[in-house]
Every structure is written in structure tokens, then in C-alpha cells.
Amino acid sequence: MEVKKLKKNQISSNGKRKHAYSLRSIFFGFIIKLIVSVILAIMLWLILTVCIINSSSLEPENHEEARIYQLMGEYETADIIPIDKIPSNIKYAAFNNEKHLTDTNLTGDNLELARQLEFSDKIAYSMVNGIDNYKKFTLRDATYIFFYQMEGVYKNKVAQFWADYLVWVSFLWMIFSAVIIETLWFASKMRKQVKKMQETAVLIDKENLDFEIQNTGVKEFDEVMHSLDLLKNNLKQSLKDQWRMQQQRKKQLSALAHDIKTPLTVISGNTELLYETDMTDEQKSYLEYMGRNTEYIKNYVTQMIEITKGEEITANCEKVPLTDIIDTITTDTKALCIQHELSYSIHISDEIKNSLQSIDVTTDLSLLGRIFMNLLDNAVQYSPSMGTIHWSIMCDQSPKRKYTIAVYDEGSGFSKMGLLHAKEEFYRDDESRNGHSHYGMGLYIVGQLADVCGLSLKISNNPETHGAMIEIGGLC
């Protein structure tokens, strides 16, 4: 299907002209907006930083040294400095005259350097960085090593905390926030456009085709929407054609069914006349078989006419003795096998044999007869010459007592694909069951009738004969 290229200016659903941009243009626009957002975030960070810093004045670099000299001046003639008189923000180490450490709030390397200064002749010591400094102050009974730093600090604790810890964290956070916000906005915008395509695809999938395609404003997305529009219109036309064909087929089937009813009436009438002639018992059994199957065909034709009128098949369920079902299947099996020179084998489980007369089944005997006639006909078609048709019936011992009737042949069985699709309408398993003329309707009809009667249907290959096996299950 050829998709026409869309012009940049698209007509939206409300009739207004809508400009469509390519994905490349939209992506470049996103990058530009992202860069602008990052720049604005940096500017906001700078403004915030400047405002916080300007809200507090800066202490002089030697403010800690000045406090220490002030303390030394106050206790210059004293024996010791009382510990409670040392300000909490001044770091120190106190030693007695034997150079034993008596008190300190220093730790690690700072304490070790304080010890070294105590045992040296120096009265002060500065680190290479020029920031960390130690000062010795000796009194009569004690020596104090003070540690201080030569750097400016803010009087406002918030400003100092910002300068020490938050300045770079806030910088990264501002940039990260700008990137995240801009990306989420872009993703939300694109998600809305993709959602339009998804909603269109869902409507087409549900065959709800009476809607107008909405443009997204994205050139590549609009091309996809245009393709979906073509698909929608083609599908709509295809469904119309299919509906017309179905209506035509229904009319043809209805006409055919009406045409078949006339010769069937003739056959049925002549069969009844034959009953009045002298016949052997064998001829009477053949005539009964013909009469019963003529009635089957009449019912089929009647239901075919109902189907063409759009009426559903309904089951008229009633309690039927299991012996009647067995007799019906046995009679049909025998007649078909004699006609096609085949043998038949019947297997009835011991559980059913012991209580056969007391078991009733709630079902529609007419529809059940159609089911097994289809199954037996299939088995006859696919059986080899001089083969055997098998059917068995068993009943479990559960409280609900479920019965299962299986029909199987000695043919080639179902292929792997056949096991998956055999119940589909018009499916023909030509891979393993070829060479037979059929239209792929038998098991489809069986499945439909089984659903109407509330029966289960299972398709498999018999492990002993390797032929096709169909199992019908229901409740007693």
C-alpha cells in the first residue's frame, strides 16, 4: 500500500490548519529548551547564592587568633586557665608541668601536633597551607596549646553552612532539576501524540471504523496516522463486501434448502409406502435406517433455513436413557460400516455395564444424533479399506458422574496443525488426511452443536490405532 507524503500543513479534526514538525525539529527544539533551562537554573543558583552571602557580613581572617590573644591577656598572671572559662569555639590542649595531657578538645593529627609543640622550644607553629596555626601559652602550673585557623567565616550560620556544604550540592541539584523537568515535559508531550495512534489502532482492531483520524502535529506520526486511515477505509470496504457476500450466500443456501425439501418429501413418502409391501427382516432394517436418516436430513434442512434467517440453534434437552443413545450410535455405526465394507468395535466400560439401565442423560437426542452422525461419517471417510471404526463409552465415579463417548478410526490421524485448527470453519487438514473430498465443516458443526448441548469436545490421536479420535463429554 502506497502512503502519500503529507504536507507540512495538516488539517486537524476541527477543520483548522495545523503545522506539522518533523521529529528531528522537535528533538532539536527540546535540546535548545533544555540548554536554556539549564542556563536559567544556573542564573537562579547564582542569584540565590549571592543573596544568602550578602545577607551576612564576613568575620576577619584572624578573628580566632584575636580571641585567643584576648584570653591569654586575661589570664597572663594566673596559674591556670579554668576550663569553663575557655570559650567552646576555641580548640586547645592543656598540659601540666610534667607535660602530661590534662584536658583537650583536639583529636587526631591536630592533637599530635599540639603534643609536638609542647615538647619543643617553639611558641607557635603554622602549617604549610598558612591556614592551620598552633599557639603555645605557658603559665605557672600549666601550658596551653591553642589551635586556630586564619580564614574568614560568615557571622550568619546559615550563610556559613551554605558556603561550607550546600553551594555545590545546590548547583548540581538546580541543573538536575532543570533537566528532569524539561525531559518529563517533553516525554509527556510525545506520549500524548503516541496515545492518539494507539487509540486509533484499538478502534480499528475492534472494527469500530466510524471515526475521523486526528493529526498529531508530528510529521512522521501523521504519516503513520495516514496509513492507519487508509487501512481503516480499506477494512471498512472489505467488511461491507464480506457482509454482502454473506447475505448472498445465505440467500443461496436458503434457496438450496428449499429446493432439497421437495425431493426429500418424495423420498419420505415412498419410504412410507414401502412399509406396506412384503419385505424380509433385513430389508425392513434397511428401510428403517433410510427413514431415520431421511428425517435427519429434513431436520438439517430445516435448521439450515433457520440459520440463513439468522436464528440460533437451540437445544430441547430432556432426560434420555443412556441405552437409547447407545442403541442409536450402534445402529448408525453398523449401517455405515456395512455400506462401506468396514468393521466396527464397541467398548462399554464395566461401570456403565453394571448400571446401564439406571443411567439417564439430560440432552437433546436429535442434536446428539447429528453430532455422532458427523463423527461416524468422518471416521468412515478416513478409515483405510477393510479397517475398523471404534467407539467407546465410559463414566467416571465422581459425584457429578461425567460420561465420555469417543469415536476413533485407524486412519493417519490429525497433523500438528490439524489438532490446533480442526474445529475451525472450512479448515482442511490436507497434510495428513488428504485424498478425501470434504469442505472443512464437519468438526466445526460438531463443535457448534456440542456448545448448544453443553457438551465438551476434545480432539486427539488414539495412541493405539494412531487414527483421529474425537471425545464428547457430558454430565449424567
pLDDT in tens, 105-119: 888 888 888 888 888
**What mean pLDDT comes out for the span 8-13?**
45
Do 426 and 344 belong together in one domain?
yes
Do 130 and 165 belong together in one domain?
no
pLDDT of residue 430: 57
Whether 415 is covered by a domain: the verdict is yes
- Indicate which CATH number applies to the domain containing 326: 3.30.565.10
Do 34 and 83 belong together in one domain?
no
Do 346 and 324 belong together in one domain?
yes
**DSSP states along 437-471:** ---S-HHHHHHHHHHHHT-EEEEEE-TTT-SEEEE
Whether 267 is covered by a domain: the verdict is no
pLDDT of residue 225: 85
pLDDT of residue 399: 67
Q: Report residue 8's pLDDT band, with 50, 70 and 90 as the boundaries.
A: very low
pLDDT of residue 57: 55
Q: Averaging pLDDT over each range in 123-137, 399-413, 419-433, which range is the top one?
A: 399-413
Do 99 and 183 belong together in one domain?
no
Domain boundary residue, one of 149, 166, 187: 149
pLDDT of residue 381: 84
Q: Please, what is the average pLDDT of the chain? A: 80
Number of domains in the chain: 3
**What mean pLDDT comes out for the span 212-234?**
84
**What mean pLDDT comes out for the span 315-340?**
86
Whether 274 is covered by a domain: the verdict is no
Whether 10 is covered by a domain: the verdict is no
Do 361 and 443 belong together in one domain?
yes
End-to-end CA, the chain: 57
Do 359 and 434 belong together in one domain?
yes
Q: When comparing pLDDT for 226 and 17, which is higher?
A: 226
Q: What does the pLDDT look like over 358-370, one tens digit per residue?
A: 788 888 888 888 8
Do 429 and 454 belong together in one domain?
yes
Per-residue H/E/C for 299-364: HHHHHHHHHHCCCCCCCCCEEEEHHHHHHHHHHHHHHHHHHCCCEEEEEECHHHHHCHHHCEEEEC
**Residue span of the structural domain in which 329 resides:** 315-475
pLDDT beyond 60 at 5? no
Do 36 and 95 belong together in one domain?
no
Whether 281 is covered by a domain: the verdict is no
pLDDT beyond 80 at 435? no
Unique residue bearing C-alpha cell 538536575: 176
Query: With contact defined as beta carbons under 8 Å apart, do 424 and 418 qualify?
Result: no
**What mean pLDDT comes out for the span 144-159?**
71
Domain boundary residue, one of 167, 190, 205: 205
Whether 340 is covered by a domain: the verdict is yes
Do 48 and 77 belong together in one domain?
no
Domain boundary residue, one of 149, 165, 196: 149
Whether 13 is covered by a domain: the verdict is no
Ranking 76-85, 95-104, 405-414, 458-467 by mean pLDDT, the lowest is 76-85
Q: Averaging pLDDT over each range in 77-91, 175-189, 283-297, which range is the top one?
A: 175-189
Do 443 and 401 belong together in one domain?
yes
Whether 140 is covered by a domain: the verdict is yes
Do 338 and 467 belong together in one domain?
yes
